[in-house]
Structure 1
Amino acid sequence: MRVEQYTQPFASSFYKKYLEDISSLSSFYHYEWNQNALNNRLQETDFSKHKRNELVEVITSYMSPFGLSEKSKLHLEELKDNGIVVIGGQQAGLMSGPMYSIHKAISVIVLAKQQREILGVPVIPVFWIAGEDHDIDEVNHVYIERGRKLQKMTYPEASRIKKIASKSPFDKKMITAYLEELFKSLPETLHTKKLFQKVIALLENNLNYSDFFAALMNDFFQQEGLLLIDAAYEPLRKLESEYFQKMVKYSSQLAEVVFENEAAFEKAGYGTPIQTKENAAHLFYVEDGERFLLERKDGKFVNEGKGIAFSEVELMNIAINEPERLSNNVVTRPLMQEMVFPVLSFIGGPGEIAYWGTLRSAFELFEMRMPVIMPRLSITIVNSKTQNLLEKFSFRVPDIWEGMAEKAKLQYIDEHRNEKIPTLLASIKEDLTAKYKELETILQEENIKLAPLVNKNLDYHEKQITFLNNAIEDTFLGKLDASINRYDRLTMELTPNGGLQERTFSPLQLLNEAGTELIQDLLEIQYEFNGQHHIVFI
């Protein structure tokens, strides 16, 4: 494999600032993202406060059905003792969601390995699954190539009730049929049958979004000892009871400091990534698998649309006795992560890093400091066919990001177009319009009132000219189809949906081309956490 690095493409102004000038953002974060910060984090942080034995029991219980590798067992033992973690996570997307879910897991594993060697202490990779998320529309689809275009293939939900991902079951026949259709859309390779059999086998006992996601991720990364945990796992919620109580107790102060922090973040020109409210409770109440966001009103915690209202005492009792009925939001999830895990570093994507920038005072409210927030590895994978096209047209990958393939395609079309045809058609249309105008004038002079009919007749002929023009254009483009397709393929492979490959492509396409060994091959690359975008040529 060959690797090239480039400045992060398609980055927001804030993310560019974070990558290139983190020191200017010191008022929003406790640490910069470099080795000195990681060293300081280790020295300054009391990692003895965590409920390590209980946490290891919870993770072991959660992961056992998926299979615990020897490396995972070792990491659990280290976590029970004095190990610290590099952690990141993602929603439970179908087929693991977009490629950046895989890249995030690779980031966690690689950074943990690097820091284990540098710091001389056990550093363990952990991946949390956002099984408490209820926006199923964000996770229920895969983009796949069909008819030379990317199409969004959505799993047809049996129910439209928005339950959390961990409580959103698949219909066995429906999900099997969906996966069969998905694989039929792939080109047949040496790996297709084996990959399909693996996916169906992993689906067998994992019939909801979170479990299926966990089964896939465990299969991909178990030899690396990646520890997995679902944020909605009830035994984890039991462990978190004490921390939910704190969040209920300090709800008012938490809302205040986050609101002020986000206002400062916006004033600095970075927008409002959370769009928080002064009366936010920053907790959800869970009932029958559905989440209902709570607000504070008249001394109560309420969701008016659902008719829910709890006093602080009532909500505190829920936190004590039924913590599985509570769920974190975008503000309290990072806080809960810090309370539960001994975190050296959090691996984040651009959006996560932005909203964490509004939480510094929230961490301080609970007498904590943010971990080192490391930008995840950003990767584009270029297969041999795409490499051949790049060479044929003398393009580099950044050229495609900048739209040069599309520009070259339009130039190629223009160079082969006979300009006499559109000129002649325009002339015919002008002549026709002039003749009809002349006819209308004569009819008016003769007091023959047929203007509507004349205009209707003219409109008909103009539509026929447009139809003829479109037919000529379609036939003309058809003659150039093979060449046009090469340009379109470069754009689709490297900037699908107008952005980075990792934000649209599922691992499915790449694993079908290269086999599941691709994951291990990607893990063996010597990555640098430098904010650059990595291009991997396979």
Structure 2
Amino acid sequence: MCRRYYPQENLINRGGKIVRVEQYTQPFASSFYKRYLEDAGSLSSFFHYEWNQTALNTRFQETDFSNHKRSELVNVLTKYMSKFGISTKSAIHLKELENNGIVVIGGQQAGLLSGPLYSIHKAISVITLAKQQRELLGVPVVPVFWIAGEDHDIDEINHVYIERGRKLQKVVYPEPLRIKKMASETTFDTDLINAYLEEIFQSLPETLYTKELFQKVKSLLENNLTYSDFFAALMNDLFREEGLLLIDAAYKPFRKLESDYFQQMVKNSSHLAKLVFENEMVFEREGFGTPIQTKENAANLFYVENGERFLLERKDDKFVHESKGISFSEEEMLNIAKNYPEKLSNNVVTRPIMQEMVFPVLSFIGGPGEIAYWGTLKTAFELFDMKMPVIMPRLSITIVNSKTQNLLEKFSFTVQDVWEGAVENTKLQYINERRNGKVTELIETIQEELAAKYKELETLLEKEDLKLVPLVNKNLGFHEKQLIFIQNAIEDTFLGKLDASIHRYDRLTMELTPNGGLQERTYTPLQLLNEVGVNLIQNLLEIPYEFNGKHYSVLV
């Protein structure tokens, strides 16, 4: 039997229904993330704050939030969100932000159908922490979601995983062109994307919610035919009642707002690159790797041309992308930043800094990878006379449907047992206990005896000087292949007899550790919305989460 583990458990009354919520130690955590969760104080050389209420209080008290271009920012946000519809709650949040409101912010790439579930969990984290801090600090705290529409790695966002024939399959949207444009400028082919969505929905089991969900997704797609717009439309719809504010980093009016900040980054480019390079070397010496893999000659900015991004480096006092033949002097870069800021784009170093310049940030919600690369940026923030915000680990959630919960109870597993491989081990034990070892032994005996007899024949032929050894070996090979064929056929037939039981083990693994990792890193919310309805998001938002670094398991 597997090792037993009893998690912290809460029973929550949600709309008259008792829901079970369990908390576990964060699974699959890197050494750095584990340290950040359990002992953030020991990482003070990399961050300005720990991630607790004391730090949030200090951040609020010592930070001057009056220097931001609030009116301009709200005008840009309003213009951007108008396309998707501004809810009453969002309008209130926009007004608060224009006055003295501060923000909790997080972001993600514009994945198809919201991308992996952790995009949803990140939005829930932003909303939940903003609500909690609004109450505790007594000031308006507004949730903001930053869409990385400037990202051009389309292969990271152009697919979803669905179950087909009891197996998990990656279904990729068939891009008609392979030019690596930014997500905000990569347009779907109408026929292709509609056929793609139909293919995805046809793979889902028919439920009470399937038709309505399909129509909703199709309607959101109608006027939103880029990755970023489709993502924004869906997120706005899912979180409309929470007033989640959205902005695409590549939105051109937003770039105009950032003009002054781009100029600062150009002027400080050399010093910034040196600081980040040195800090990352310290990070590596501490045993945490090089999450950015920066270079001393990095410009930490992209140049944008026809929707494509080209990463710039500094060479001989120029900002260059050699393979593209791009070269600008500092004066030319400053002119671009001042008059054509839409032609510039942040990289992994300058995006966090730009975020702090544009928004009055109380806290940034980050995932494991984000927190690691933010850990290299402390001195970069100080270069611009800023401190990092409080970097709060996002909520990490596994959603367990009733069928999966029934299987867990049937086999006496916890969710953590599945993460730790106990299900796979138990499945193999189940199979081996039912396998007749005599069959394998007999086939092995036949193989050994056959090889021995053929060796006798080979020796005899050589003695008689009959040069037929190659033919003998070839014939032996035929027999060995036939034995392997028989062995495989026996194994397939044997496993077929156990199929129903084996499938239950595989079902647990596929639901809770798809692709060998957390559910939230593979599945979109589509399957769950199809199973339990769009109220799933609201139900998840009603759980009284604690930001304590634990992983939540929620039975829906």
TM over 0.5: same fold? yes
Q: Deviations over 1:71-94 (max 9, x none)?
A: 000000000000000000000000
1:124-168 per-position Cα deviation (integer Å, ceiling 9, x unaligned): 000000000000000000000000011000000010000000000
Deviations 1:224-281 (Å, cap 9, x if unpaired)? Answer: 0000000000000000000000000000000000000000100111100000000000
Structure 1 ranges of 4+ moved more than 6 A: none
* Partner Cα distance (1:350, 1:247) in 2: 26
Pairwise mapping of residues 317-396 of structure 1 onto structure 2 (< 5 A)?
Answer: 317-396=335-414
Tell me what 1:230 maps to. Answer: 248
2:312 aligned with 1:294? yes
| Amino acid in structure 2 at the alignment position of 1:352 | E
1:442 aligns with 2:456: no
SS of the aligned residue for 1:66 comes to coil
- Other-structure match for 2:15: none
Q: CA deviation at 1:2?
A: 1.2
The whole-number CA distance in structure 2 between the counterparts of 1:460 and 1:214 is 60
1:486 matched residue in structure 2: 504
Alpha-carbon distance in 2 for matches of 1:85, 1:272: 29
Residue 468 (str. 1) matches residue 491 (str. 2): no
In the aligned structure 2, how far is the partner of 1:464 from the partner of 1:2? 54
For the residue of structure 2 that corresponds to 1:485, the secondary structure is helix
CA distance in 1, matches of 2:89, 2:448: 77
Which of 59, 72, 81 lines up with 1:54 in the alignment? 72
Partner of 1:275: 293
- Does 2:93 match 1:78? no
1:120 correspondence with 2:138: yes
Please name the residue that 2:180 is paired with. 162
Structure 2 counterpart SS, 1:305: helix
Aligned partner of 1:434: which letter? A
Partner of 1:106 in structure 2? 124
Structure 2 CA distance for aligned equivalents of residues 455 and 280 of structure 1: 62
Which position in structure 1 is the counterpart of 2:30? 12
Give the deviation of 1:306 after TM superposition: 0.5
Unaligned runs of 5+ in 1: none
Q: 2:273 aligns with which of 255, 265, 271?
A: 255
> Counterparts of 2:523 and 2:225 in 1: how far apart (Å)?
23
Normalising by the residue count of structure 1, what TM-score does the alignment of the two structures yield? 1.00
For 2:462 and 2:23, how far apart are their aligned partners in 1? 73
The answer to whether the aligner puts 1:284 opposite 2:302 as a matched pair is yes
Taking the aligned partners of 2:224 and 2:250, their CA distance within structure 1 comes to 15
CA separation in 2, counterparts of 1:313 and 1:451? 80
**Matched residue SS, 2:351:** helix
Displacement of 1:464 in angstroms is: 0.6
Letter in 2 for 1:461: H
Q: Residue type of the partner of 1:64?
A: S
**SS at 2:320 equivalent:** strand
Q: Structure 1, residues 437-457: CA drift from partner, whole Å, max 9, x if none?
A: 000000000000111111111
Question: Equivalents in 2 of 1:228, 1:517: separation in Å?
Answer: 21
Superposed CA RMSD: 0.4
Deviations along 1:208-232, whole A, 9 cap, x unmatched?
1000000000000011000000000
Deviations along 1:421-449, one digit per CA (max 9) or x if unpaired, are: 01000000001000000000000000001
Any stretches of 5+ residues in structure 2 without a counterpart?
1-18
Hey, what's the Cα distance between the residues in 2 that align with 1:43 and 1:107? 23
Identity of matched residues, %? 77
Report deviation, 1:190: 0.6
> TM-score scaled to structure 2, two decimals?
0.97
Hey, what's the Cα distance between the residues in 2 that align with 1:313 and 1:398?
A: 57
Aligned residues: 538
Query: What CA distance in whole angstroms lies between the structure 1 residues aligned with 2:530 and 2:421?
Result: 27
Matched to 2:217, the amino acid is: V
Q: Which amino acid aligns with 2:499?
A: D
* AA matched with 1:127: F
CA-to-partner distance for each residue in 1:283-316, whole Å, 9 max, x for gaps?
0000000000000001100001101000001111
